[in-house]
Structure 1
Amino acid sequence: MSRRTLAGGLAIAAALPLTALPATAEQQSVRFPSAKFPLGTRPVPTKTMTTVTQGIDLYDVKAGTSTDGYTVTVLMPNGRDSGTLPNAEAKLAEVEALGETASMQQVVQPSVADAPSKTEYMVRVGLWPLKDKKKAEETVTKLKDAELKAKVDYLGDDGVKTTGPWDAKVVMIDVKTFRGSYAATLGTSVAKRETVSSMAKARKAVVGVNGGFFNIHTSKELRGEPVGASVVGGKLLSEAVPGRSAVVLKGRTAKITELKTTVTAISQDGEKATVNGVNRAAAPDELVLYTEEYGAKTPTGGSDVVIDANGKVVGVRTSGAAVAAGTRVLHGNGGAADWLTQHALQDWTVTVDTKVVDLRTKRALQLTPDLNVIAGGVGLVRNGKTKITAKLDGHNSINMILRRHPRTLLGTTKNGSLILATIDGRQPGVTVGANFLEAAQFMRWLGATQAINLDGGGSTAMVVGDKLVNKPSDGTERGIGDALLVLPS
C-alpha cells in the first residue's frame, strides 16, 4: 500500500488489485467533497482513501476534537431522561432537598418533515471533565442511595452544540465504473441474527453494511426478523410497514422510496383472504405466510396448511413444525384458521399473490431474481433537501431525533452512484456519532441527493473485504437481522 500527502494534509492510500483499473478524475462521477466537514465548527477533516476495487473507494474520515465532559441526569417518574415541566420541577426540589446543587434544562426536539418540535425538561447535577467520570458515578450512587434514579450522561450525546470528535467510514461506489451488483441478505434464516461479517463472508461480498431495524420485541429465537419490507432474490420475506422508507436494489442500481406490500391467499374455489404477515409471530385471528427461509417452527395453537411451489396443498397439520425446503406454510389461528379449514383442503390449490408497490411511482415492483429490498429506519434527504420522516418511520422521539448515536447511512447521487457511510458513536472522547439532522447534513455534504438512515447504535457495522473497518459501540460486532452487500459480480 502506497501513501502520499497532498496539500491540506490529506493522506491518500491506494491498495489496488492487479486487475483493477481505477477511473481517472475526469471519468469519476462520485467524489469525496473538498469543502469543510459539515458538523460542529466545520473543521478541516483528515481522510485516508483506499481503492477497494474498480469503482469502489473507502474513506476513513476523522474531524473535530473532544471538549465535552460528563454530567448526571436525574430520571423522570416514567424512567425517561426528560419530561414535563411539573415533573422536572418536582425532581429538582427532591435533589435540592438532599443538599445537591441541580439545574433544570430545557430540551427541544427539533421539528422534522412530519412532526412539530417538542419541548421537555431535564434535571442535572454536576459537570466533570472527561477524565473524571468516576466522580459522576459517585454522585449517581449517592442519589440512588436516597432513592432517586439517575445515570451518568456524556454531554456529547445530547445532540446540541459540540466540537466532536467524529470517526466515519465512507464507501463511494461509482456508477460509471463499478461492475458488480447489490444484494440483500438475511443470512442463514429470517429468525436468526448474524453479524455483517458472517453474511458478507458467505456471499464473498467486497462491502457489507448492516441493514434495517430488527424486531427486539418478539421472542428471543425470532429476533432476526426485519421490521419492514425485506425482499431477497425477488422473494418477499417480510412485509412492509406501509409508507415507510426502504431501499430497492436491482442489479447495480439503488433507489430510495416508500413501499406497500399486499399478500393474498386465493383458494381454488375463488375465496380470498388477506395474509397479514410474512415470517413473523402471528397475532390473534391472523393469517401468516412462512417460507423455507424462516428458520424456525410455525406458532403453536393454530392450523398449518403446507403448499408446494405450484400452490398445491400437500399437507394439513397442527401448527408448530418447521417449514420444509421447497414448501411454504399458511398458518392461521382463530378466524384465519377457520378460513383455512374451509378453503385450503388437502390437494386443493391455494395461490399466494404477492405485490410490492413503490408508493412514489404507484407501480408494482417486478419480483425478479435480481430484486432486493431493505427497510430503512428514517428518510433523511429527498431531492437534495433535508426531509426527515421520523414520525412516519416510527422514530419520533427526542432520543432518536436529537440525541447522538452511531449511524449507518445510505445515499444515492444525482447520477445513481451509491454512498454507504458509518459514523461511530457512544465512545466519549473518540467519536460522538450523529443525530438525524446531522446525519442528513453529512450525507448531503457527501453528495447524496437521496438518503436514508438504516439501523444504528450497536448494530452499526461496515465490512470491507474480510475486515470490519469501523468500531461498533458494543465493543464487538452485534448479530443483526439483515445486511446490504456489494458483490463483485
Structure 2
Amino acid sequence: MSRRILAGGLAMATAVTLTTLPAEAERTVGFPSANFPLGNRPVPTKTMTAVSQGINLYTVKAGTHTDGYTLTFLMPNGLDYGSLATAELVAAEVEAAAGESPSLQEVIRPAVADAPAQTVYMVRVGLWPFKHKKKAEKAAEEFKEAGFKVKLDYLGDDGLKTTGPWDARVVIIDPRRFRGSYAASVGTSVAKRETVSSMVRASKALVGINGGFFNIHTSPALRGEPVGVSVVGGRLLSEAVPGRSAVVLKGRTAKITELETRVTATSQDGTKAKVDGVNRAAATDELILYTEEYGAKTPTGGTDAVLDPTGKVIRLRTSGAAVPRGTRVLHGNGVAGDWLNEHAWQDWTVAVDTKLVDLRTRRAIELTPDLHVMAGSVGLVRNGRIAITAKRDGHNSMNMILRRHPRTLLGTTKDGSLILATIDGRRPGDTIGANFVEAAQFMRWLGATQAINLDGGGSTAMVVGRKVVNRPSDGAERAIGDALLVLPT
C-alpha cells in the first residue's frame, strides 16, 4: 500500500511493505522472540502473567509515535476520499475560496484475497506535529466557519506507513496443559446486549473476549442479535451469513472455518418450507424461528405457531408475544403466515430440521450440547498464509481494510493452541490499532496458521479474572452481542 503527494507540500511516508510469512514458518505454543512485525519492526516489550494452568496473558507494547495531524476535506458524497476528478474539483474550491494550496494525496488500498486494489484521492491541508494538535483544531474550525466540510485527521489512523505505537493483549492457551473448555455466550438473551465482563461473571469464566458483529440496524430492543451464526450449547440461536468466517468450539478445541445453516420446517402433511432466519426481525413473507433464548416478543402483524419440544403445535396465535419457556415459535407474515395457517394446525406436528454445514469439508456439524459457534467478521490467515476475505465477509471498504482501528483477533496454531488478542487503538500517541493487513501480520507473528478478525472498534474488550485488561476506545466497556469464554471446566 502506498501514498504519493501529487501537489502541495504535505510531507508523508511513501510505502508500507506487506510481509507474508511462508506456511512452513508454523510455530508451536509460546511467544515469538523475533521483532515486532509492524512498522519498522521494533523490538517489543512484553510482560507475561500466568492466568491458570495452560493459559498465559501477555502485554505487548512496541513502537513510538512520530505522526502528526492534518486537515482532510470531505467530498460531495460525505466521504474523505474520491476519484481524481472529484478531488481536483474540491481542491480547486478550497484554493479559490480560502487561498490555500491543498495537497492531492493518492492512496492505494492494497489488494486482498477476494478484492483488487483500489486507488483513491484525498484533499488535505497542513501538517502539524503531535504536540500542536490544538493549532490543527483551530485551523479546522476556521475552515468550517468558512463553509467547508473538513475533519481533523491523525495520520497514524490512515493505515499507511507509521512507527506506531501499538499496545496489545494476547492470551495463549496450550491445549496440552489447559483442562477447561471453550464456550460462546449471548448473555441473558439474544436480543439484549451485554458487556463481556457481565458474561464472564455469570459463567465464572477465566477469560472472555467480545465476539462478532451485532445488528445495529434493527430495533434498539433487538440490537444484541449476532450478525452471523451463533450456536450455544448445541442450540442454533442465529443463522449463518453463508460463507462467512466463524470459529467452531467443542470442549477445548477450536476450529476456524466457513459455515452455512439450513433450516427447514416440515408439516405432518409433508409440506416443506424454508426457514429464513433465527431470532431476528422478520422481513415481508419470511418464516422465522424464535427460541426461548430470544428474550423479546415476536414481530406483530403475522401468525405464530407455538411448538413444544417434540414439534407439536400447541396453538396458533396472533404474533407479538414472548416465546413461552420450553417452546419454540415459528413466525410468518404474508406468504409465510399463509403457510403456517394452512400447514401448522393446532395438535399437528411441524418438524424443524436444522443443519450446520462446514463449507471447507462439506460435512454437517452435529449440534451436540458441547458445541458452540461464534461468527467472525473477516478471515485473516488461512493455512499459514495471509488471506484477507474482506469482500466475502461484507467489509470491502477503505475504512475497514486500510484505516487503523482497535481489533479483536482469534487464531489457532498447528498444535491446536488458541490465541486471543486485542490491539487497542484510537489513542493518538499511545496506541494506533491496526488495519486488516497488520492484524493478519500480527497473528502470523504469534504463530497462528488460521485467524479471523472479530468485532473491533469500541467493542474490543478482553476480560481476564473479571478485570478488563485492555483499554476500550469508548472509555468504558461497550455492551455487545456475544462473547467467547474460556471456562475452568
C-alpha separation between the residues in 2 aligned to 1:362 and 1:297?
35
Is the partner of 2:218 in helix, strand or coil?
Answer: coil
For 1:60, the equivalent position in structure 2 comes to 59
Q: Could you tell me how far 1:447 is from its partner in structure 2? A: 0.4
Question: What letter corresponds to residue 30 of structure 1 in structure 2?
Answer: V
The more displaced of 136-145 and 369-378 is 136-145
Q: Could you tell me how far 1:59 is from its partner in structure 2? A: 0.2
C-alpha separation between the residues in 2 aligned to 1:200 and 1:83?
44
User: Any idea what the Cα deviations from partners look like across 1:439-458, whole Å, max 9, x if unmatched?
Assistant: 01000000000000000000
For 2:374, the equivalent position in structure 1 comes to 374
C-alpha separation between the residues in 2 aligned to 1:153 and 1:191?
36
Matches within 5 A, 1:159-308: 159-308=159-308
C-alpha separation between the residues in 1 aligned to 2:123 and 2:278?
44
Is the partner of 2:293 in helix, strand or coil?
Answer: coil
Matches within 5 A, 1:141-152: 141-152=141-152
Matches within 5 A, 1:13-52: 29-52=28-51
Q: Could you tell me how far 1:29 is from its partner in structure 2? A: 4.6
Question: What letter corresponds to residue 371 of structure 1 in structure 2?
Answer: L
C-alpha separation between the residues in 2 aligned to 1:70 and 1:308?
61
Between the two proteins, what is the percent identity of the paired residues? 77
Question: What letter corresponds to residue 334 of structure 1 in structure 2?
Answer: G
Is residue 2:348 matched to residue 1:348? yes
Question: What letter corresponds to residue 301 of structure 2 in structure 1?
Answer: G
What is the aligned residue count?
462
C-alpha separation between the residues in 2 aligned to 1:52 and 1:32?
15
TM-score normalised by L of structure 2: 0.94
On the 8 A contact 2:70/2:128 being kept in 1, the answer is yes
For 2:80, the equivalent position in structure 1 comes to 81
C-alpha separation between the residues in 1 aligned to 2:101 and 2:475?
35
Q: Could you tell me how far 1:125 is from its partner in structure 2? A: 1.3
C-alpha separation between the residues in 1 aligned to 2:349 and 2:443?
49
User: Any idea what the Cα deviations from partners look like across 1:263-320, whole Å, max 9, x if unmatched?
Assistant: 0011000000000000001000000011100111111111111111111111211111
On the 8 A contact 1:255/1:412 being kept in 2, the answer is yes
On the 8 A contact 1:381/1:440 being kept in 2, the answer is yes
Unmatched 5+ residue regions in structure 2? 1-26
On the 8 A contact 1:29/1:174 being kept in 2, the answer is no
Is the partner of 2:199 in helix, strand or coil?
Answer: helix
Is the partner of 1:293 in helix, strand or coil?
Answer: helix
Matches within 5 A, 1:70-109: 70-97=69-96, 98-109=98-109
For 1:10, the equivalent position in structure 2 comes to none
Question: What letter corresponds to residue 187 of structure 1 in structure 2?
Answer: G
C-alpha separation between the residues in 2 aligned to 1:207 and 1:306?
37
Q: Which stretches of structure 1, 4 residues or longer, exceed 3 Å deviation after superposition? A: none
User: Any idea what the Cα deviations from partners look like across 1:32-67, whole Å, max 9, x if unmatched?
Assistant: 000000001111100000000000000000000011
C-alpha separation between the residues in 2 aligned to 1:222 and 1:134?
40
For 1:482, the equivalent position in structure 2 comes to 482
User: Any idea what the Cα deviations from partners look like across 1:427-478, whole Å, max 9, x if unmatched?
Assistant: 0000010000000100000000000000000000000011000000100000
On the 8 A contact 1:29/1:176 being kept in 2, the answer is no
TM-score normalised by L of structure 1: 0.94
Is the partner of 2:441 in helix, strand or coil?
Answer: helix
On the 8 A contact 1:101/1:126 being kept in 2, the answer is no
On the 8 A contact 1:29/1:175 being kept in 2, the answer is no
Question: What letter corresponds to residue 124 of structure 2 in structure 1?
Answer: R
Q: Could you tell me how far 1:100 is from its partner in structure 2? A: 2.1
C-alpha separation between the residues in 2 aligned to 1:212 and 1:306?
30
User: Any idea what the Cα deviations from partners look like across 1:366-417, whole Å, max 9, x if unmatched?
Assistant: 1001100000010000111000000000000110111100000000000111
Unmatched 5+ residue regions in structure 1? 1-27
For 1:321, the equivalent position in structure 2 comes to 321
On the 8 A contact 2:28/2:414 being kept in 1, the answer is no
For 1:133, the equivalent position in structure 2 comes to 133
Matches within 5 A, 1:403-442: 403-442=403-442
